[in-house]
Amino acid sequence: MFELIITKLRPAATLICLGLAGILEISAADTPPDAAALMRRVATNRPAIPLVLDATLKVERRVADVYDLKVFLNGDPRQVRTVYRVTGPADDKACGTAVLMIEGGDMWLRAPGEPAARKLEAADRPQSFLGGDFSYEDLDFAFLRWPKQKFIKDSRRLGFDCWVIESTPGPGIASQYSRVLSWVDRKYMAAVIAEAYDPKGKLMKNLTVQSVRKLDDKGHYIPGQITLENVRAKSRTVLRVDEDHPGSNDPAMFEPAMFFKATAP
């Protein structure tokens, strides 16, 4: 799906990476892990913190396109639901666009002027979000939940002692990617690197978490800036979190029939 590099981790912290999170300081066994169980652990260990993030998405071209976003997270570790809403520029045709992502389930899109949200089918998920390098599939981090997980080897990368896990989508799961290799840190039980490949086995995207942002004194952090490079297109998109606020766990905000209205300014 992409290469994920976390350039800064702190002990005794929980890292929330929008759709991707892991609770740190979990003891690791010396024997090779059960890959499927390990990836389930990485995918489900999340703090119950509803959040609203003020963010900026910059699509870097000769003349860059810059969008203001609000990102709503429901804070339910059993099933994370996330809404991305475009709030600016006010005169841009994309302003007001909203996307609801239900972890392990459906995605819904509502564009300005449309009477209702429409479900994104499998063929829609590789499409670009706001014309940048993030696709809808990239924002979902689905590889953590793919049924085929295989332990490859022990490895040391970026100063972390890791298990390397290969994830493949398996029959009946549509993806633009053929496999993802994840480096899961043995101490922190978080995926610190993930590389995704196209059907021909070539690396497609590199995603770098360049900074982290402290939420509170309980050890909760989120990425401060993420850069996604599309290797094939030789382009990149930068997502920066500017502010974070306590969110609402009102279920209506994260239901397909209501999310567009409930998250409006």
Pick the CATH number of 3-67+122-242 from 2.50.20, 2.60.40, 1.10.8, 1.10.3470: 2.50.20
Strands 81-88 and 3-6: unpaired
By the 8 A CB rule, do 207 and 10 touch?
no
Distances in Å between the Cα of 139 and the Cα atoms of 99, 129, 133, 158 are: 10, 9, 11, 24
Global pTM value: 0.82
Provide φ and ψ at 211, rounded to 5°: -160, 165
30 pLDDT higher than 80: no
192-212 mean pLDDT: 84
- The pLDDT, as a whole number, for residue 157 is 80
By the 8 A CB rule, do 194 and 181 touch?
yes
- Residue-wise pLDDT for 92-140, tens only, equals 999 999 999 998 779 999 998 888 899 999 999 999 999 999 999 988 8
Burial of 121 (0-12, 13-18, 19+ CB in 10 A): exposed
Beta bridge partners of 89: none
- Residue-wise pLDDT for 49-58, tens only, equals 899 999 999 9
Which residues, at least 6 apart from 187, have a Cβ–Cβ distance to it below 8 Å? 24, 25, 28, 160, 161
Cα(first)–Cα(last) distance of the chain, in Å? 32
CA-CA-CA-CA dihedral for 144, 148, 151, 155, to nearest 10: -40
Domain extents in the chain: 3-67+122-242
